[in-house]
């Protein structure tokens, strides 16, 4: 009976996953290993007006990619790479611009085409989560323990947090991964996003969560209601994503940012230019399913 319940719950989750045709059918890029594109969007779907005000998310003014990460897994261990959303790259049909603009212009397919062209890596899977889903997932696992290196107060992100090790609930966690109110601005932010996402998935896939129906059921509901995957992805693919992320958070993998060459102003906007030599070394190694050289790790 227990086995049937577990199988039935897994089937329920798989059937109810939100799916979209994210992977371009005409992609000619090839690489070894498995690559996930993980996107955190600024969608307010599922949040009431009161929740938007409480979480300081602002009004829904169009969906954009607030977070972009690439997770590579293979024979050399998992590698999680943060791609700054202001990265200045060629966008098919639109010249060059910030990489997160590709999502606004053409949805997940154009974003994936842009990432594949910039990195030379074939994207095999896609996962996207909005603000509401992020908060729900954190609260469903009972909060996430993090050691905060410095106090941060940022009214724009609805954040007022003290330094030290503590448990973050969904609302506080959302502010923590959104804020830019530190000396390193966006570079600090992508590092916090990587660390927190690894910690969240590690807790979500821990026995304390998986064997606790009072946590796994709300977590499953949060996943199916707010996570969007490619039309070819299934619940077992997400399980593989979780295992790879546990490897990163457990120290068996690498977490890094795309190497940065500069932050010039183009067209009146500050953008991020990659260090092409180091970036090519990073993505070239991943394309061959090899461990990236240490001097290719960013920022």
Q: What is the mean pLDDT of residues 169-176?
A: 90
175: which 2 tokens? 């502010």
The answer to pTM > 0.75 is: yes
pLDDT for the residue 42: 61
Lowest mean pLDDT among 27-31, 34-38, 204-208, 290-294: 204-208
Report pLDDT for 43. Answer: 54
Q: Is the model more confident about 178 or about 59?
A: 178
Instruction: Calculate mean pLDDT across residues 205-215.
Output: 80
Q: Which is more confident, 95 or 225?
A: 95
Beta bridge partners of residue 146, listed in sequence order: 166
Asked whether residue 54 carries a pLDDT value surpassing 70, the answer given is: no
Q: Does residue 246 have a pLDDT over 70?
A: yes
- d(CA 159, CA 290) in angstroms, rounded, equals 39
Residue 1's Cβ-count burial label (10 Å; 0-12, 13-18, 19+) is exposed
Residues 254-268 have pLDDT tens digits of 999 999 999 999 989
Report residue 15's pLDDT band, with 50, 70 and 90 as the boundaries: confident
């Amino acid at each position: 009976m227990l086995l049937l319940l577990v199988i039935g719950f897994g089937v329920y989750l798989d059937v109810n996953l939100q799916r979209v045709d994210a992977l371009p059918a005409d992609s000619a890029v090839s690489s070894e290993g498995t690559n996930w594109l993980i996107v955190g969007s600024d969608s307010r779907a599922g949040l009431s007006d009161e929740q938007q005000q409480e979480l300081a998310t602002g009004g829904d003014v169009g969906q954009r990619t607030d977070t972009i990460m690439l997770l590579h897994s293979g024979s050399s261990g998992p590698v999680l790479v943060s791609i700054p959303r202001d990265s200045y790259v060629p966008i098919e049909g639109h010249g060059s611009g910030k990489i997160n603009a590709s999502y606004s212009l053409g949805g997940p397919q154009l974003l994936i085409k842009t990432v594949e062209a910039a990195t030379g890596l074939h994207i095999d899977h896609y996962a996207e989560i909005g603000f509401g889903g992020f908060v729900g997932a954190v609260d469903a696992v009972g909060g996430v323990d993090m050691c905060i290196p410095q106090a941060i107060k940022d009214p724009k992100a609805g954040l007022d947090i003290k330094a030290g090790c503590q448990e973050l609930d969904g609302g506080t966690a959302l502010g923590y991964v959104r804020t830019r109110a530190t000396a390193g601005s966006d570079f600090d932010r992508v590092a916090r996003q990587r660390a927190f996402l690894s910690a969240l998935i590690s807790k979500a896939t821990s026995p304390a969560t998986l064997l606790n129906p009072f946590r796994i059921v709300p977590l499953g509901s949060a996943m199916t209601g707010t996570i969007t995957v490619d039309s070819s992805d299934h619940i077992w693919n997400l399980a593989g994503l979780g295992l790879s992320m546990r490897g990163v958070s457990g120290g068996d993998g690498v977490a890094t940012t795309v190497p940065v060459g500069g932050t010039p102003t183009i067209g009146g906007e500050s953008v991020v230019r990659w260090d092409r030599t180091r970036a090519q070394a990073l993505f070239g190694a991943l394309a061959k399913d090899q461990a990236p050289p240490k001097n290719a790790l960013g920022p």
